[in-house]
Structure 1
Amino acid sequence: MKIKMKRLGALALTAILALSASISSFNLIDSTRVNTSFGKVGYFAPISVMRLVEKGNRGTIDPDLSYASERLLDSALTLKKAEYGIDKLLTPADTVLLDKVEAEIKHLAFTSRDMHVLNGLALPPTIDSLMEASGNRYAVAMVGSGYSRTRLNFSNKQRIRVAKEIVLQGNTFGAKYPEKAVSIVHALLLDSKENKVVYYRQNRMPEREPTNANIVTTQVNSLLVGLFMNN
């Protein structure tokens, strides 16, 4: 019986690794080919929506985690923006308009993610007006999402138990298991002339803290290369 349980545990761990590999490689890319000679590009300040899981498997939006993630995203983007011709920060002075811009950017990112295939999602009015007023045809937007767990909420024992259930049910495709943390960065290229999103991609790193500076920097760099070098 002990041998069987050990084998089951090994199978469970194998399933976890397989799922991690498949999830981390998931990307969404618009089929639209963006001209690499679009010149100077504006950008919006990064936004983050981070959750902290304290009880069960559901988290609540945590302002401190979200703020920390935004600062890391901004630092990583600032270090690389000159290299890719990203120059002007597009931000309204009015706080009400700023709230609208942030809400619209989150809507674009999460809708693009849920669509799985981007088909020229139209720009909302506030973003479009701000880009046209700035004289920038193109602008980059980045949104962070993901979550972290408290130490009391997560343990290897719990992880193995759920993985065993997945193996016993014979359902590993699309199965969910408790990840300690997930760091996700969404990148979009917005076109005010065409009035649409012309590029979307996300970088998802399971089992990585969204407030780890090295992880966030790696994600941002990867997305910028995909946007400016591989298009």
Structure 2
Amino acid sequence: MRKTTIILSTLILISCAAKNIDTDKINSLDYFEPVAFINLINKENTTTVNDSISQLVSHRLDSIVNEYSDRFRIRKRLEIRDPSLQKSFEKEVADLIFEKFINKNPKMNIPTPTIDSILQINNSRFTMLNVVTGFQRTKKNFRNQTLKSLGIGLLTLGSAIQIYSKNSITTYTLIFDSNGEKIVFENKTDLIESKPTKPSVLRSELIKTFRNYYF
């Protein structure tokens, strides 16, 4: 089980495209295989990052990115074959996303050490990183929480009814420029209550991320 965790904000935030580089300056674009941290909430109401669901989301988004390879001017996908390097990469990605988008740390505008080393090894100029966070509830958990909510509603005569979300997804996207050792594109999508494994949802999130940019 992957040990990396990432804290999800429950607030719905406005997409935060910063001062991003013009696309005509990106002649070719490399990209990392998308990283996903999808939590599964089980019947005991405990939450853990689920590797199989996270990998499914990663692979499906990777396929969607490839469908738009001409639009993005994709050169290649950067492969990480060393398990220990992959672990360091995922840890740094989680920390980077948390610091940059949640804590809004202004110092987090450069590639992390592991990311930078991968860019240098692959002679990559511009490289895209897509990160997906979210959660899914098991059927038993969602049923139990719904019944609990209805019970509270009956006891309080409808004055206190808590509605539980079954799923959620938020995507974060960065483009690194290894020449300037900086981030030249950043954006996140609003948190939505949709199933993160659904291809149509992942496609929509990707298009929203690059609306008026690549789309």
Band of TM-score, shorter chain: 0.7 to 0.9
Among all aligned residue pairs of Structure 1 and Structure 2, give the percentage whose two residues are the same amino acid.
22
Q: Aligned ranges for residues 74-153 of structure 1 at < 5 Å?
A: 74-116=62-104, 121-153=109-141
Deviation at 1:101?
Answer: 2.5
Q: Does 1:44 align with 2:32?
A: yes
For residues 175-195 of structure 1, the C-alpha deviation after alignment (integer angstroms, 9 at most, x for no partner) is x95211102221111121221
Deviations 1:45-98 (A, max 9, x none): 111111111146541111121111111111111111221212211224433323
Name the structure 2 match of 1:223.
209
- Structure 2 portions without partners, runs of 5+: 1-9
Deviates more, 1:144-153 or 1:127-136: 127-136
SS in 2 for 1:136: coil
Structure-2-length-normalised TM-score: 0.78
Structure 1 33/224 Cα, relative in aligned 2: closer, same or farther at 3 Å?
closer
The CA RMSD measured in Å over matched residues stands at 3.0
CA contact (8 A) 1:148 1:181 kept: yes
| 8 Å contact kept, 2:38–2:54 | yes
Which segment drifts farther, 138-147 or 189-198?
189-198
Q: Which residue of 1 is the match for residue 3 of structure 2?
A: none
Does the C-alpha gap of structure 1 residues 148 and 92 become closer, same or farther in structure 2, counting only changes over 3 Å? closer
Give the distance between the partners of 1:126 and 1:147, measured in 2 at CA: 27
* Number of equivalences: 200
SS at match of 1:154: helix
Greater percentage in helix: 1
Aligned residue number for residue 198 of structure 1? 184
1:72 maps to amino acid? R
Q: Determine if contact 1:188/1:197 at 8 Å carries over to the other structure.
A: yes
Where does the alignment leave 5 or more consecutive residues of structure 1 unmatched? 1-19, 170-175
SS of residue matched to 1:186: strand
Question: Which of these two proteins has the greater Rg computed from alpha carbons?
Answer: 1
Q: Counterpart of 1:51 in structure 2: which amino acid?
A: N
- The 1-side partners of 2:174 and 2:82 are apart by 24
Q: Which amino acid aligns with 1:222?
A: K
Measured in 1, the distance between the counterparts of 2:135 and 2:209 equals 20
Judged with a 3 Å threshold, the aligned counterparts in structure 2 of structure 1 residues 196 and 53 are, in CA distance, closer, same or farther, namely: same
TM score, norm. by length of structure 1? 0.73
- Please give the per-residue CA displacement for 1:103-151, whole angstroms capped at 9, x wherever unaligned: 3223222322213476652211221122123232210001111000112
Instruction: Give yes or no for the alignment of 1:213 onto 2:213.
Output: no
Q: Contact between 1:182 and 1:204, CA under 8 Å: does it hold in 2?
A: no
> Does structure 1 retain, via aligned residues, the 8 Å contact 2:34–2:62?
yes
Amino acid at match of 1:90: L
| Mapped contact 1:41–1:85 kept (Cα < 8 A) | yes
